[in-house]
Structure 1
């Protein structure tokens, strides 16, 4: 008897059929975890994001100026040519329907979801592996979140959208894709300058890889030439209208931190230098995950490596501070893990026998274990964030007592001697917290973000206060006479040592303690001689 082998076939085990049960389970977990992370925006009434209060104060001040109801119109003006238009504009519109703190949470929540969606879209465009989508979740709540870089976070998903459009344009430049790139790029320009430069640099690098001839490259670079002209126009406008450019004494010069500090850059995905330090193990595992899943460098699309190269270049070469902006390179930790994930893809077996072995002996259990550990890494991070947020609610509750004692529409000086939060594990959660009085009670608080060029509300050149940028870090340096202390009715203090009473002592005006609640104190200026 002869047996024909031509009709026999080897069937793969049921566990490797697509779509597999494993894939469905982990995708559901991914979507659920992504949505759960949105809860972090809503636990605390006021988030422990250092600069957020100042951004909220700008929104309230802008709304009052537009309505011609602001008592501060004589000292500030509206700056319509602001590169922060998107973030502030969205919060402004929502502030007519809800409190400004809630409006900013809505915008950031949408930005977070948009960021994850943008990462997934780019990963698909590059042909990456969906199992690495877990790398997209933690970064949004890392260093930029802790510092409250509101406009940077809002611009991040727009930057990803521009990179996606730029990739399409680089593959097939035509009028339609050029117009799409121009429109997306202009929106990004008016969202955040740093994200704009980052996305444009990556988009232009796509052209260097995709275009075959010098002539094609030069023609395709026309949209980026338009972007360059827009930057030049903004620089000329700033030079003509910004009175602060002449005040070079307070501007931080470009500086590069010690390179041993830069080794902590991957941990900034998980928080600030202090709060992210406990996530060393999850961070290392996330970096090892592509290799544990037997992925390789993406060879099907050479442009997939360019975002990672851009982030690494910023990590190594960008200064820590320049052009009135601090923490330049640190904030780009937001893009590190997505760019890292884009660089990997599944590797096709090179011959038929290897393909057959990969189907018959695919290590399903190992893959499931790696994915499960990635899930645990994200859940542990979000769990710690949740606990910290709840603790911050209890820790910061005493500020409400201070705020309730303040009459609306007054000028106040914020003296935050103790900036850190033990609950949220950061050194600067309360740095700008006094500005919530401006945001919610229509007062005016110094020091104030109205100093800075990108802000939608700026100081008038003839009403620059003594409290210049940098004062928020050194409240003990306040001098009643040189600081024009009698200008302020209220002094918002967070101080555990009692140093504030010594700083406020003067021979000109009476200073009385209005309220004390935990570390917070409210002082009021009385009669002056």
Structure 2
């Protein structure tokens, strides 16, 4: 395969991989509205036509998020904000395979497997909008490659070490988790990478001397990291047990760490690599990449090419992948008050390193493998582009709301349904930030409350509910509402259906029977809550809200009003928790009564003793003749 053909295929694949970012007007990323809002504030901090100067001030501290916010703010001088952000995301998407290609070439390997990382640029971290971490991944791969070259490229060691120093600082300024991976990855490369002088070196000092440049290249980044640690962890933690975004105890205490078990991590590993769309279409590209990688591994083992790495050095890339995989399985999910969603983010890095670590095959096989890898990018462009455009149509509601929003608004984000019919993530969660940014106002919640933000509130943080609003957590067991019951006729009808399930000849498992009972409850609630009944209960709940407020229960008042609005305006999905609970407690009360009667051995009133039976049943529970 000629260099020209390889470069054309590589460039075409990069264009296709980034194309979904430009075919959709809105990108489905949960935290993106918050990020764009902070960048808008940072860019217009002195703009008197907005609320920004009165509410926010720059946080003049070293934080690992400075890279993304300040770089896109700088691009905002050249492009509109959303275009500037797309330019940045494009650099990330094409940067992931380019960074992998640079690392592969630094290790003396063919670069075509780097194309297999393109689908991994999307997925769980992209859907959540962890842009700072994502942007650090190409730089992480670049750091590994520069470190290897600072060891092996004898004529240009100083230049490679200077590039390493700048790149490592950049990694820290984007996200500390990527820097944490390098804390393990660079020592691994140091001990497994031979240098030309090793053949004639005698003694420790002689072996150390050619490695000094590479070691010196990490000093600025490590120094900056230690300074950040002193600043960040030197302050006493704000310990508020149970509060979101706050520490629940000392930093590494058991109550401050949230873990996911090994089985859960194992089950989620492949899911988080491609979990964007409800229809699962984004997994097509992942399957295609897996197929090409499997063929590449098979050919590399059965038809190996010329080995340019020694017996130890050939394990360097695979070892980096194993290190990332170990971080995925061994780290906690949250360190509350400091780092969230910690271990899961390493899944994409581990997958990218592992899929590219295949042994080199013969030169003749590299052309078809490279073309097959480039074809995977075509699948990425089609599937992700189609899904992003479908979401953009769904998100047009934001435009309608923005048109009727006044200037300098204060927006309360009471989002009834943050979910989407296209993507799996709650992408409408931070919709209030979209409206506030469009009109120079402020939403009730911003990331300026977090210590890694480049901004802070000038005065006290505006009062709001903790983190995101969750109307589904309304406690309908308040003494006043707990007595509300459906009409007797509807109660009898529901209990007859539940009794029929209990006497079903099918041998159902407990979860299956529970799901069927819940479905009967939902069916009963939907049948009863006609538009007229919805409005009746909406008025009742609205009056109850006033009562709760008068009796010193503002959270219950807010939730009652929210549910009243849902019922009155006919919001269907997610279905009313109040309506479901109204019928659920009928089943719960009946089950409690049956349990009490069975404890005393008394039959239910009017129930005859159970007759003896000689029925024969199949293993599945069907009655046999």
**Same-fold call, TM > 0.5?**
yes
Counterpart of 2:24 in 1: which secondary structure? coil
1:294-373 matches, within 5 Å, as 294-295=300-301, 299-300=309-310, 301-302=313-314, 303-323=316-336, 324-346=338-360
Asked if 1:402 corresponds to 2:401, the answer is yes
Which consecutive unaligned segments of at least 5 residues does structure 2 have? 248-255, 476-533, 551-557, 574-625
Q: Is the 8 A contact 1:100 1:439 kept in 2?
A: no
Match for residue 446 of structure 1? 444
The aligned residue for residue 261 of structure 2 is 258
- 1:22-69 C-alpha deviation (Å, 9 max, x unpaired): x86665344213202222112222211111110001001112225566
Deviation sequence 1:187-230 (CA, Å, 0-9, x none): 22212211222234322322222477765299664554553432
> Of Structure 1 and Structure 2, which has the larger fraction of its residues in strand?
1
CA distance in 2: counterparts of 1:465 and 1:194, whole angstroms: 31
Q: Say yes or no: does 1:95 pair with 2:76.
A: yes
- Secondary structure at 1:245's aligned position in 2? coil
Equivalent in 228, 231, 235 of residue 234 of structure 1: 228
- Offset of residue 436 of structure 1: 1.1
Match of 1:245 in 2: 238
Structure 1 equivalent of residue 19 of structure 2: 39
Does residue 137 of the first structure (1) align with residue 118 of the second (2)?
Answer: yes
Distance 2:458 2:570 in 1: 35
Give, in angstroms, the shift of residue 71 of structure 1: 2.3
Cα separation, 2, equivalents of 1:247 and 1:273 = 36
**Secondary structure in structure 2 of the residue aligned to 1:158:** helix
Q: Measure the CA separation in 2 of the matches of 1:377 and 1:518.
A: 41
Aligned partners of 1:30, 1:180: CA distance in 2, in Å?
A: 24
Q: Which moved more, 1:90-99 or 1:375-384?
A: 375-384
Following superposition, the deviation at residue 314 of structure 1 comes to: 1.7
Aligned runs of 1:108-507 on 2, under 5 Å?
Answer: 108-171=89-152, 176-210=159-193, 216=208, 221-224=215-218, 226-239=220-233, 245-247=238-240, 249-250=242-243, 251=246, 253-263=256-266, 264-272=268-276, 275=280, 278-279=283-284, 281-282=287-288, 284-295=290-301, 299-300=309-310, 301-302=313-314, 303-323=316-336, 324-346=338-360, 374-423=373-422, 425-460=423-458, 462-463=460-461, 465-469=463-467, 471-472=468-469, 474-476=470-472
Is the 8 Å Cα contact of residues 44 and 390 (structure 1) preserved in structure 2? yes
Note closer, same or farther for the CA distance 1:316–1:59 as it changes in structure 2 (3 Å cut).
Answer: same
1:278: Cα distance to partner? 4.1
Residues 451, 468 of structure 1: 8 Å contact kept: no
Shift in Å at residue 93 of structure 1?
1.5
How far apart, in 2, do the equivalents of 1:457 and 1:157 lie?
Answer: 26
Q: Kindly indicate whether the alpha-carbon contact (under 8 Å) linking 2:401 and 2:435 is maintained by their aligned counterparts in 1.
A: no
Q: Distance in 2 between matches of 1:436 and 1:194?
A: 28
Matches of 2:138 and 2:444, distance apart in 1: 32
Q: State the shift of 1:104 in Å.
A: 0.8
Do the aligned partners of residues 175 and 28 (structure 1) sit closer, same or farther apart at CA in structure 2, a change above 3 Å counting?
A: closer
What is the rounded CA distance, in whole Å, between the counterparts of 2:273 and 2:538 in structure 1? Answer: 36
The one of the two structures with greater contact order (alpha-carbon pairs below 8 A, sep at least 6) is 1
Structure number having the greater helix percentage: 2
Q: Secondary structure at the match of 1:344?
A: coil
TM norm structure 1: 0.75
Name the stretch that deviates more: 323-332 or 110-119.
323-332
SS of aligned partner of 1:129: coil
Contact 2:32/2:129 (CA < 8 Å) preserved in 1?
A: yes
Query: Aligned equivalents of 2:110 and 2:161: distance in 1?
Result: 29
Q: Alignment partner of 2:424: what SS?
A: coil
Give the RMSD, CA atoms, in angstroms. Answer: 3.9
Deviation at 1:315, TM superposition (A): 2.1
Q: Secondary structure at the match of 2:413?
A: strand
Q: Separation in 2 of the partners of 1:444 and 1:458? A: 13
Partner of 2:581: none
The TM-score, its normalising length taken from structure 2, stands at: 0.64
Point out the structure with max Rg over C-alpha. 2
Q: Distance in 2 between matches of 1:188 and 1:420?
A: 32
2: CA distance, partners of 1:162 / 1:24: 27
